Every structure is written in structure tokens, then in C-alpha cells.
């Protein structure tokens, strides 16, 4: 056991040490605030926030983990070992010139999202307001990197300390906002869609809609058989998030009680994990999440444990509290719509720490790294440039033994319309992601 001498034990400190040392490195840890107990311990040990003597390993603290309030922080960035760090400590006895534990806590708890900030037209936290974006480290999983640096320090001092080597994982995720473009939507929406296309003088769409409805052409959103072929070929197990909302301005899937839709969901569930995709409207009406989750549970005939917010509408801590209250144990919303990268500066699932309540919760956060719409719609990248961007992000995750979770949508896994050339982007991602 690794013994840590601390001034006092707090929820923040326990959460962070468990994350950095136990979850990421597999080290069993214990605490003491008794220097005599610390001195007698003949196993691996270090002190944090309190220096014993120069012979002992010591990490200086900036104090954040011993607080229980939320307040604006001066980060004071500087370069250390070719990387950007913050929360400097002015103690020559400290093994590092910054506090990696406090910095990790600040990032994974999304501390800055509890402070006043700007939001976009969907009421989402803006990536441009984050420190990671402004300082240029959004593409780096700093928490994983710092954990490995701490491992190296500990291994150099305690060669017999046993670590668990982080193992890389690849888990594709697919949001089904609309299972089909034209079919299975009911006669009213079918006629309305044709009429709207006529009004817009889009005769190509009119012809396509009619041909799909007459089963003379394949629905462009129905890429599920192709997905299954790729899944079997490359031997991966994805996770799907299904929108089961009532029809609305931003919730436009087909009716949840459509038997073809329900059969599709059950079919996918035989080969993948299935989660709920809480509607856009549910972000301001939490009761809708309850209804939509119950719909999915009845279709699958089992409990639903995974979720990702439609439109990535995430507000801390309210969204996560709603999930917890509905017995959802895993959320996959942690990422940005407008840019790729690591929103929480970590590429490993971690527990949600509610800063307002100063406590760790039962909810696990599974951060995603890149979304198809980010590359295609926001950044306007070519398929080739998109593949290069994805490959670079996968490389960062592999370096630290993290989990690479991309967010894709079923219409993007084809060669039609605006997505021409993007099927190869998805295949390239899967091939690169599956490489160990």
C-alpha cells in the first residue's frame, strides 16, 4: 500500500487521489495525518501538502483540494517538460513545480463550468470559453499524462511498487437522432415532406422521397446493415443512443411506437449496448427524460444504464443530477460540438464529482473525443483532413492507455449527399482505432 501523509482528508482529495493513483494506475492507497505513523511505514509513501524532511518524497499543494467552496482561480500557466501546466507551487522541496492533483481536479470536475460563463444558442457551454481551448491543450489528455508522470516518479523511488498498466480501448458510439430520412414516419409527415420539398423547388429530393416510399431506392439514413457488416469485419462492439422523444422542433425521430423502429432497436441490442438519447426538450423538462427512458426500457425489456444528451445539452450539475435521479449510471455527453478534443482533459471514464455538494457520485462519465458533425459541419474539413485529425487524436489516447470514444450518426456512414467520401473516414477511424 502507498501511504500518503496529508494535513487533513477531504472529499476532493480522496476523489483526486483515487482517480490519479488507483483508477489510472491501480495503486492501493491509504492516508494519515500522523507524522509518526508516516515515518514508521516501511513501504512506499509520499507527503502531499505537508513536508516532513528532504529525504521523503513530497508533492506541494496549492490548497484547492483542502477547500470546500467554489471560487475563481488564477491558473498561472507555464511550460514544464515540454508541456503546459498550471497551479505552480513555490517550494524547492516539491518533486514537481506545480500541483498535478489540484490541476487534475480542476479539469475533470469542470470547475470552470460552475463559474460565470457564456453559452451558445443551444444554451451549451462554449469550448472557446475553456482554459484548454484558450491555452491550446484541448487535444491533450493532460490528466492521463500527469498520472503517468507521477507513476514514473514513484517507480524511480519505489521500484517494488506494483502498478497496473493502462490498457487502450476503442468504443465507437452512434447517435440515432433519426433512424430513417423518409420511410416509417407516417402518412402525414411523408406528405408534408414531399410538399415542403416542392415548395423549396428541390425536385431531386421529391423524386428521392417518392422512390424511397415506393421501395425503389434505399433510405439514405438506413445504414444499419452496413454498420453491422463493419462491426463483424473489424470485431468491435459499439454503443447506440436512441432518441425516443415526441416530435418537436429539435426532436425529429420517427414515432417511438412504430413497430419497424422498435424491431430495429431490438436488432441492434443483440450486437451492441443501447442507451437513451434524452430529447432536446428534456433539458428544460426533466420529466420527459423519465418518460423517454421508460419507453426504451419497455422496448428492450431491461433497465437502461447509459445516456447521451441530444444536441450535447449539458449543464452542470443539473443534467447529471437528473440522470442520477433516474438511475442512469453512465453518461457519454462530455465533449464539445464545435471542436474535437478532451473537454475534461482526460480520456478515461471517471466518476462525476458534484462541486456544489462537494461529493463524488455514482454516475460514471465516459468522455468522447470527436464527433462527425464537428469535423463536417463546424470545421468544414475534407474527408482526408478529417481522417488525419482523428488519427492524431487516437494516437494521443493510445499513448496513455485511454479509451477512444468517437461520436457518429447513422446518416454519416454512407456515400450519399453531403456525406460523400465520409464512409471512408469512418472506416479509416475504425481501422486505426482497432490497432493496438
Domains of the chain: 2-157 (no CATH), 169-181+221-434 (3.20.20.370), 185-218 (no CATH)
pTM of the predicted protein model: 0.94
The set of residues, in sequence order, having a beta carbon less than 8 Å from that of 243 and lying 6+ positions away, is 175, 176, 177, 178, 251, 253, 277, 279, 310
Model confidence pLDDT, tens digit, residues 163-190 = 998 999 999 999 999 999 777 776 666 5
Average pLDDT over the chain, rounded to whole? 93
User: What pLDDT, on a 0 to 100 scale, did the predictor assign at position 197?
Assistant: 58
Rounded Cα gap, residues 296 and 168, in angstroms: 30
Mean of pLDDT values over 256-271: 96
SS3 117: coil
Q: Are 93 and 59 in contact (CB under 8 A)?
A: no
pLDDT value at 4 more than 80: yes
DSSP 223-259: -HHHHHHHHHHHT---EEEE--PPPBTTB-PPPTT-H
Instruction: Say if CB 256 and CB 279 are below 8 A apart.
Output: no
- pLDDT for 14-66, tens place per residue? 999 999 999 999 999 999 999 999 999 999 999 999 888 878 999 999 999 99
Burial class (CB in 10 A: 0-12, 13-18, 19+), 82: exposed
Percent of the chain with pLDDT over 90: 85
Cβ neighbour number for residue 300 with a 10 Å cutoff: 16
CB 173 within 8 A of CB 239: yes
Phi first, then psi: give them for residue 421, nearest 5 degrees.
95, -10
Burial (CB count <10 Å: 0-12, 13-18, 19+), residue 174: buried
Q: Nine-digit cell at 115? A: 463559474
CB of 302 closer than 8 Å to CB of 276: no
User: Using CA atoms, how far apart are residues 59 and 48, in angstroms rounded to an integer?
Assistant: 5
Q: Match 487521489 to its residue by C-alpha cell.
A: 17
Q: From CA 292, how far away is CA 305, in angstroms rounded?
A: 13
Half-sphere exposure in the Cβ direction for 120 (13 Å, CA): 14
C-alpha cell at 295: 419507453
Residue found by looking up cell 433512424 in the block = 179
Amino acid at each position: 500500500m502507498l501511504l500518503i501523509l496529508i494535513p487533513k482528508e477531504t472529499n476532493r482529495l480522496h476523489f483526486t487521489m483515487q482517480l490519479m493513483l488507483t483508477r489510472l494506475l491501480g495503486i492501493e492507497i491509504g492516508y494519515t495525518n500522523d507524522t509518526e505513523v508516516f515515518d514508521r511505514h516501511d513501504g512506499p509513501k509520499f507527503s502531499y501538502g505537508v513536508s516532513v524532511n528532504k529525504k521523503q518524497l513530497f508533492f506541494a499543494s496549492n490548497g484547492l483540494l483542502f477547500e470546500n467552496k467554489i471560487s475563481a482561480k488564477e491558473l498561472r500557466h507555464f511550460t514544464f517538460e515540454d508541456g503546459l501546466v498550471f497551479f505552480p507551487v513555490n517550494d524547492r522541496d516539491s518533486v514537481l513545480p506545480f500541483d498535478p492533483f489540484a490541476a487534475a481536479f480542476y479539469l475533470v470536475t469542470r470547475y470552470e463550468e460552475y463559474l460565470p460563463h457564456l453559452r451558445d444558442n443551444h444554451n451549451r457551454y462554449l469550448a472557446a470559453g475553456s482554459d484548454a481551448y484558450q491555452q491550446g491543450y484541448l487535444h491533450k489528455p493532460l490528466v492521463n499524462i500527469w498520472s503517468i508522470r507521477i507513476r514514473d516518479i514513484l517507480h524511480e523511488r519505489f521500484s517494488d511498487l506494483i502498478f497496473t498498466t493502462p490498457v487502450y480501448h476503442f468504443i465507437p458510439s452512434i447517435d440515432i437522432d433519426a433512424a430513417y430520412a423518409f420511410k416509417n414516419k407516417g402518412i402525414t409527415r411523408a406528405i408534408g415532406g414531399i410538399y415542403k420539398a416542392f415548395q423549396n423547388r428541390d425536385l431531386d429530393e421529391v423524386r428521392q422521397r417518392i422512390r424511397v416510399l415506393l421501395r425503389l431506392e434505399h433510405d439514405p439514413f438506413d445504414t444499419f446493415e452496413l454498420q453491422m457488416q463493419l462491426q463483424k469485419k473489424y470485431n468491435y462492439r459499439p454503443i447506440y443512443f436512441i432518441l425516443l422523444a415526441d416530435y418537436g422542433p429539435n426532436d425529429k425521430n420517427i414515432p417511438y411506437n412504430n413497430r419497424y423502429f422498435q424491431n430495429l432497436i431490438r436488432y441492434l441490442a443483440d450486437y451492441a449496448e443501447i442507451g437513451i438519447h434524452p430529447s432536446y426538450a428534456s433539458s428544460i423538462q426533466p420529466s420527459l427524460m423519465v418518460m423517454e427512458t421508460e419507453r426504451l426500457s419497455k422496448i428492450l425489456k431491461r433497465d437502461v444504464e447509459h445516456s447521451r444528451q441530444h444536441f450535447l445539452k449539458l449543464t452542470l450539475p443539473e443534467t447529471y443530477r437528473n440522470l442520477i435521479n433516474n438511475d442512469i449510471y453512465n453518461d457519454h455527453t462530455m465533449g464539445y460540438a464545435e471542436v474535437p478534443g478532451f473537454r475534461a482533459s482526460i480520456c478515461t471514464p471517471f466518476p462525476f464529482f458534484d462541486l456544489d455538494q462537494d461529493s463524488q457520485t455514482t454516475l460514471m462519465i465516459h468522455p468522447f473525443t470527436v464527433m462527425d458533425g464537428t469535423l463536417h459541419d463546424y470545421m468544414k474539413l475534407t474527408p482526408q483532413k478529417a481522417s488525419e485529425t482523428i488519427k492524431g487524436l487516437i494516437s494521443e489516447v493510445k499513448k496513455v492507455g485511454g479509451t477512444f470514444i468517437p461520436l457518429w450518426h447513422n446518416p454519416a456512414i454512407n456515400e450519399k449527399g453531403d456525406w460523400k467520401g465520409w464512409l471512408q473516414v469512418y472506416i479509416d477511424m475504425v481501422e486505426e482505432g482497432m490497432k493496438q
